[in-house]
Amino acid sequence: MAKQNPIFTTIGKKTNEIPVEISYKILELFSGGLYSSPTKAIEELVANSFDAFASWVHVLISQDIDSENAIIAVVDDGDSMDIDGLKALWKIGESAKADEQKIDKNKRLPIGKFGIGKLATWVLSRELTHICKQKNKYLAVTMFYSNLDNNKTAENSKLNLDVRNLSKDEAKEALKTLATMNFDLNILFNNNVDSWTVSILSNLKPMVKDLKPGRLEWVLSTAMPLTPDFKSYLNNKEIKPIKLDTKPINKLIIGKNDKVADNLGFISDKNDMLPDEEKFGVTLPTLGRITGFV
């Protein structure tokens, strides 16, 4: 019997379409190259949560990862997406984050640049669904990667993704699977969170078997920038940034016992009038006096 599509890939009323153009080559790049590790897909989704100014992100992985209904979900309370946001999501190879003008350096420096990160999910899953709440509207879009497979030889696969409008009850229904993973759905539906995004990988590929929770925890604990205003959870357990509880092995201060400067013939000096971190320094012919530590 053919497998039924999971409810979150179908529920709701189609209200719009998003045209997408993907070259199969770009997906193949993911499987062979930089993005081929199973953790990379999840890392990319978490990075997107971070970039959306989320204060928390939950990564949920089905216990029985081999079962055909197993999913991987990434839930965040970030800015989420409206219809234009979803169109931007599926514009391959373009990212508004790269727009220097829009970067507010006082908020967060974005991790994303290229507009392809979400495609790393292709390595792990045959479907990628985004369910978004923004301005009291619930929208859902599913990419069925299998719709691209028939077109392996084409330079570009073109397809349209349905945008579905969901009522609150439908959104709850779509996400009830998260409750079976011990995620408290009240967090999303009790009105304290104005906007949220749930990214769901479903119809998982064999590569998920290589996903080791310990390894994923380590990757997530080292990969995200260290900001106290972004908390991440893996199967409801908080992941502490590893760098925070690691004591430095050594501290090198420029100009203090600085053998590199000595060997290069640069002058090191000490000025007790300056603040601690700048007391020691090295004078470079072109730059002047530099200070700092590693």
Least distance to ligand ATP, CB of residue 246, Å:
27
| Closest to Mg ion by CB, 112 or 281 | 112
Rule CB under 6 A: which of 111-170 touch ligand ATP?
Answer: 112-118
Quick one: CA dihedral 36, 38, 41, 46, positive or negative? negative
Rule CB under 6 A: which of 81-120 touch ligand ATP?
Answer: 81, 85, 88-89, 95-97, 112-118
Token pair, residue 289, equals 């006096």
Least distance to ligand ATP, CB of residue 268, Å:
40
Binding mask 12-41 toward ligand ATP (x if CB under 6 A, else -) reads ------------------------------
Q: Which partner in Mg ion, ligand ATP, none is near 79 (CB below 5 to 8 A by kind)?
A: ligand ATP
Least distance to ligand ATP, CB of residue 236, Å:
19
| Closest to ligand ATP by CB, 43 or 170 | 43
Rule CB under 5 A: which of 85-114 touch Mg ion?
Answer: 112
Q: Which residues bind ligand ATP (CB under 6 A)?
A: 44, 48-49, 51-52, 76, 78-81, 85, 88-89, 95-97, 112-118, 197
Q: Which residues bind Mg ion (CB under 5 A)?
A: 48, 112, 117
